[in-house]
Amino acid sequence: TAAADTLTGGTGNDLLWGDAGNDTLVGGDGDDILMDGEGVDWLTGGDGADVFVFKSDGVADTVADFDLGTDRLDLSGWGMIYRVEDLTLQSTANGATISWQDEVITLIA
């Protein structure tokens, strides 16, 4: 919905899809796919090898439990990114930020 929603998965492999509001997506156990919607979204995959899918919406989003080497980011919705050099990567005290044009993802490890 256009309101802020909280979507919570179960113990299996879930597909959670954010919408127009500032949503919170919580995958839980399993290998989940969490899809960013329009709005400032907070995504938590939980246990498992999760995929975080982002769309181009011009606002900052957060992945609260990114596990490097296990979880994956899908930035195909951002547009024509041809090289990793097209992205701006910055280390933070508890993770990193990734940005391209007006898109920003904060990764918390």
Per-domain boundaries in the chain: 8-108
HSE, CB side, 13 Å, CA atoms: give it for residue 22: 5
Chain segment 22-69, per-residue pLDDT in tens: 999 999 999 999 999 999 999 999 999 999 999 999 999 999 999 999
Return the DSSP state at 71: -
Q: Please state the rounded mean pLDDT for residues 87-109.
A: 96
Nearest to 105 by CA among 68, 70, 66: 66
Rounded to whole angstroms, the Cα distance separating 16 from 35 reads 6
CATH number of 8-108: 2.150.10.10
Mean pLDDT of 5-30: 95
**Pair 51, 77: CB distance under 8 Å:** no
